[in-house]
Amino acid sequence: MIHVKRQREAEAEGAEAKSAFSGRTNLVVSLLFLLLTVLVFLPVLLVLIVSISSEQSVTQNGYTFFPSAFSLESWRYVLRSGGYLVQSVGNSLLITAAGTVAGLILMCPIAYALSRKHYRYRGAILIFLMIPMLFSGGLVASYMVNTQILNLQNTWLALILPGLCSTWYIMILRNYIQMSVPDEMIEAAQIDGGGQLQIFCRIIVPVIRPVIMTVALFQIFAYWNSWYPSLLYLDSNHTSLYPIQYVLVNMQRSIDRLSKDTQYMSGMQTYLPPAVTVRMVLVVVAILPILVIFPFFQKYVKNGMTVGAVKG
């Protein structure tokens, strides 16, 4: 009896020590993540503060959280071409939405087919998808195909089709399906008379929604931040098709060109825009939509990236 009592007391003391250790560990981990969050947020805050600082303050004191003077001249300069910016934002939204939706419609069925072990052409399709990851055709070849064969130059399709399908995203979707959808579920649906399209739409898609949203977020980032295809496939006669990123790049190039030209125009009255602070305004304009939409995808990204980490 005494032995049992001592054992229970020892177990209780061990549980209290473990609880106290867990509490201290949780506090340390929470403080660590809080510190990391602050460190991640500080550069964004610095960019925002510099964008509303005066050019003279940035020139004299450098990038600082406490500028000597504030100014909205950079924002006025950027917003002066408001209609052009609004049009380019609309173009980017259209390109991003079309590319993301079309890419998911294309990649999700491919991933589902590759996840089925009995699919006859599974190996051939995997090889077909892996070859571009290892051996790229190169920039010249892709440019010739898109312009000379497909005639995509000066169209939105030239900005959408090259990034439509990614082998890496297909592999992520396939692995998620294999880990989250048991074969018994699909077999039961087939016994009930469901076709492959019905199984995919009514069973697979609802189950893999987290990874679909994760891949969608990656696609949104890629399309929204893309400007190099515009440089390749759009000429200066089609400025109405320019996405926001390419407009911002051109604006920055124009400011840099003006800054260099003023060195050779001594004595002439020329307007020189605030180059440094305008650059920060362009950064804010570029990342603001991403900061707005990311909270809506956060829970799906967490579920999509951690699936399979723990098996029960």
Q: Exposure pattern of 108-134 as b/e (b: 16+ CB <10 Å)? A: bbbbbbbbeeeeeeeeeeeeebeeeee
Scanning the structure block, which residue is given the tokens 């699919």? 119
Q: What is the pLDDT of residue 308?
A: 43
Distances (CA, A) of 197 to 3, 20, 61, 113, 124: 66, 53, 63, 11, 22
3-state SS class at 81 = coil
* Shared domain check, 146 and 37: no
Query: Cα(29)–Cα(37) distance, rounded to whole angstroms?
Result: 12
- Share above pLDDT 70 across residues of the chain, in percent, rounded to a whole number: 82
Q: What is the pLDDT of residue 26?
A: 81
Q: Is residue 59 part of a domain?
A: no
What values do phi and psi take at 73, rounded to 5?
-60, -40
Q: Is residue 156 part of a domain?
A: yes
* Shared domain check, 97 and 36: no
Q: What is the CATH number of the domain that holds 244?
A: 1.10.3720.10
Q: What is the pLDDT of residue 312?
A: 40
Reported confidence tier of residue 109, pLDDT bands at 50, 70, 90: very high
Q: Which pLDDT tens digit goes with each residue over 227-243? A: 888 888 988 888 888 89
Q: What is the pLDDT of residue 4?
A: 44
* Shared domain check, 300 and 198: yes
Q: Is residue 226 part of a domain?
A: yes
* Shared domain check, 105 and 47: no
Query: Cα(106)–Cα(109) distance, rounded to whole angstroms?
Result: 6
Q: Is residue 75 part of a domain?
A: no
Q: Is residue 68 part of a domain?
A: no
* Shared domain check, 116 and 26: no
* Shared domain check, 136 and 252: yes
Q: Is residue 69 part of a domain?
A: no
Q: Which pLDDT tens digit goes with each residue over 160-192? A: 988 888 888 998 899 888 888 888 888 888 888
- Do 176 and 114 meet the contact criterion of CB atoms below 8 Å apart? no
Task: Tell me: pLDDT of 61 over 90.
Answer: no
Task: Tell me: pLDDT of 305 over 70.
Answer: no
Q: Is residue 262 part of a domain?
A: yes
* Shared domain check, 199 and 272: yes
Q: Which pLDDT tens digit goes with each residue over 251-272? A: 777 777 766 666 555 555 555 6
The tally of domains found in the chain comes to 2
Partners of residue 53 on adjacent β-strands: 70
* Shared domain check, 91 and 38: no
* Shared domain check, 173 and 280: yes
* Shared domain check, 106 and 17: no
**Of the candidates 117, 95, 273, 297, which has an alpha carbon nearest to the alpha carbon of residue 210?**
297
What is the extent of the structural domain holding 44? Answer: 2-51
- Do 234 and 220 meet the contact criterion of CB atoms below 8 Å apart? no
* Shared domain check, 165 and 103: yes
* Shared domain check, 137 and 18: no
